[in-house]
């Protein structure tokens, strides 16, 4: 049974791998199912995410798993390690939750777990969290991401309301990583091939070169923290996009695992805010960051 969530002990769900397939050489789709998903509360946001729980090295937790008890009885370095993944799709009728994993080599926990995952394997996770969905109140939408944000961008593009125009840029390693997506009319999705360039360079170039359509934009910008910071600056300072129309955050950071990145993320975000909001000529500069106007809170 799912644990009743509280502020201190978020909901823990126990699921099993139902099936898995490669969408492309570097992207694996894992479909999870199981009884405790029955009342899974996804749907409010298109960037819903879960936090997969991996046991700390050498630690076995008593069954049934109880996160509150683990946190109360063990030192922090023995708590489960978390990895954050977008809910690419949630099908309440079939009780199936779809997660797409970037395969980024042998390093790490979650990427290699997805490579090894087999039907029947068990996984525990927290969530969902989330904070963005395309607003019906803007004139157009801009979505920008590397492959880690492709699941959220694809889910968001599928939910663009009222035929509003959307421009999306997704950077992937090469043409073999492009996915067939079924998108509403007025969505213009450009695939950018990284090749040997630094991650995100092509995205920054493409958005800098974009002639913005007239009217108010809502922007969703996620992926590796370095390029996300650069593009946030461009959108806030040079284009004057109001912060409440920006959902922007580093989903991962080159050279850091998720534990290291999460530990420094708050400070990183505060520094970005201080640098860029000081430089912004936009009329709302100085307004305290909301959960989405600054960095998303994951
Ligand atoms: C809200 C949110 C939603 C996310 N959704 C998704 C999603 O749907 N799919 C997805 O694949 N990722 C997603 N991510 C990113 C994912 O959480 C990180 O990539 C995470 O670090 C992967 O964990 P790991 O155990 O595989 O690697 P880690 O142990 O965290 O890192 C090991 C090494 O791999 C590097 N690395 C990590 N991720 C990547 C990458 N994508 N490309 C290249 N090198 C990398 C690290 O810098 C480190 O050097 C999301 C992140 C957030 C915050």
Q: What is the pLDDT along the chain (298 residues), one digit of tens a residue?
A: 444 555 566 789 999 999 999 999 999 999 999 998 999 999 999 999 999 999 999 999 998 899 999 999 999 999 999 999 999 999 999 999 999 999 999 999 999 999 999 999 999 999 999 999 999 999 999 999 999 999 999 999 999 999 999 999 999 999 999 999 999 999 999 999 999 999 999 999 999 999 999 999 999 999 999 999 999 999 999 999 999 999 999 999 999 999 999 999 999 999 999 999 887 754 443 333 333 445 567 7
For the chain, how big is the Rg over CA atoms in Å?
19
* Nearest CA, atom 7, ligand 1: 85
Which CATH number is 12-129 given? 2.40.30.10
| Nearest of 147, 143, 145, 177 to residue 158 by alpha carbon | 143
Query: What sign results for the dihedral spanned by CA atoms 148, 150, 153, 158?
Result: negative
Q: How many angstroms is it from 281 CA to the middle of ligand 1? A: 34
The CB of 85 under 6 Å from ligand 1? The reply is yes
pLDDT at residue number 4 = 56
Backbone φ and ψ for 18, nearest 5 degrees, come out as -90, -45
Provide the H-helix boundaries in the chain. 67-73, 110-116, 150-157, 201-209, 225-233, 258-279
Q: At what angle do helices 225-233 and 201-209 cross, to 10 degrees?
A: 20
* For the chain, counts of helices (H) and of strands (E): 6, 12
The enclosing H or E element of 172 equals strand 166-172
Residues 149 and 224: their CA atoms lie apart, in Å, by: 9
Q: 260, 225 in Cβ contact below 8 A?
A: no
Specify the domain boundaries for CATH 2.40.30.10 within the chain: 12-129
pTM of this structure: 0.94
Spatial distance between the Cα atoms of 4 and 177, rounded to a whole number of angstroms? 39
Residue 165 is encoded by which pair of tokens?
């125009």
| Closest residue CA from atom 32 of ligand 1 | 108
Residue 294 CB partners (closer than 8 Å, separation 6+): 243, 248, 269, 272, 273
Residue limits of CATH 3.40.50.80 in the chain: 140-280
Give first-to-last CA distance, the chain, whole Å: 25
Give the residue whose CA is nearest to atom 6 of ligand 1. Answer: 85
Is 113's C-beta closer than 6 angstroms to any atom of ligand 1?
no
What is the architecture of the domain spanning 140-280? Answer: 3-Layer(aba) Sandwich (3.40)
151 lines ligand 1 (CB under 6 A): yes
Mutation test of ligand 1: which of 251, 291, 296, 298 has the most ligand atoms closer than 8 Å to its C-beta?
Answer: 251
Q: 16 CB contacts (<8 Å, ≥6 apart)?
A: 32, 33, 34, 119, 120, 121, 122, 123
């Amino acid at each position: 049974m799912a644990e009743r969530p509280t502020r201190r002990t978020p909901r823990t769900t126990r699921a099993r791998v139902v099936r898995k397939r490669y969408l492309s050489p570097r992207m694996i789709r894992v479909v999870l199912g199981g009884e405790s998903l029955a009342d899974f509360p996804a749907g409010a946001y298109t960037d819903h995410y879960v936090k997969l729980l991996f046991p700390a090295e050498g630690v076995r937790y008593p069954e049934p798993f109880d996160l509150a008890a683990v946190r109360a009885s063990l030192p922090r370095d023995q708590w489960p390690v978390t990895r954050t993944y977008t809910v690419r799709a949630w099908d309440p009728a079939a009780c199936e939750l779809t997660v797409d994993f970037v395969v980024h080599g042998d390093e790490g926990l979650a990427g290699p777990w997805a490579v090894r995952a087999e039907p029947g394997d068990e996984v525990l996770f927290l969530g969902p969290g989330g904070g963005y969905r395309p607003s019906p109140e803007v004139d157009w939408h801009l979505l920008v991401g590397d492959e880690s944000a492709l699941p959220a961008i694809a889910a968001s593009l599928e939910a663009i309301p009222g035929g509003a125009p959307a421009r999306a840029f997704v950077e992937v390693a090469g043409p073999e990583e492009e996915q067939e997506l079924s998108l509403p009319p007025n969505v213009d999705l450009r695939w950018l091939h990284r090749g040997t360039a630094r991650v995100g360079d092509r995205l920054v170039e493409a958005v800098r070169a974009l002639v913005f359509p007239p009217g108010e934009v809502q922007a969703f910008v996620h992926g590796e923290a370095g390029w996300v910071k650069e593009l946030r600056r461009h959108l806030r300072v040079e284009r004057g996009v109001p912060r409440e129309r920006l959902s922007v955050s580093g989903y991962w950071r080159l050279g850091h695992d998720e534990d290291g990145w999460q530990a420094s993320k708050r400070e990183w975000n505060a520094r970005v805010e201080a640098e860029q909001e000081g430089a912004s000529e936009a009329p709302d500069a100085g307004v305290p960051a909301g959960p989405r106007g600054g960095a998303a809170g994951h």
